[in-house]
Structure 1
Amino acid sequence: MKRHQSNPEPKLLKVAKDRRIAFTVVRLWLCDSEQEARQLERQLKGRKNGRKL
């Protein structure tokens, strides 16, 4: 979350914020490094099954 808060906003979060759309973080995956987090993110996105996450 800190990475997303400190980096330029992802488009989806920016649009939600601009339109005052509330959202809730419902799940976090903890990783030991940024590289591990990126690998996990790619793996999860590659499944193309966001509803089950």
Structure 2
Amino acid sequence: MVGDVLGAFGKLAPTGRQMGVFGAEFPLPDGGAGASEFDRLLALTGRDPGWRRP
């Protein structure tokens, strides 16, 4: 299921960035190799998958 959303957001990401909805893609270590689909989705939308509330 997350993989489906990841694929769709991959197509929508450039438009989302132009509209200010998504930030720049967050760089994942090793280019995302070994990252979960959910972490890759967060990174694609400009969010840090490792962020934790202080």
Tell me if TM exceeds 0.5. no
Larger Rg over CA atoms: 1
Flag the structure with more relative contact order, 1 or 2, with Cα contacts below 8 A and sequence separation at least 6.
2
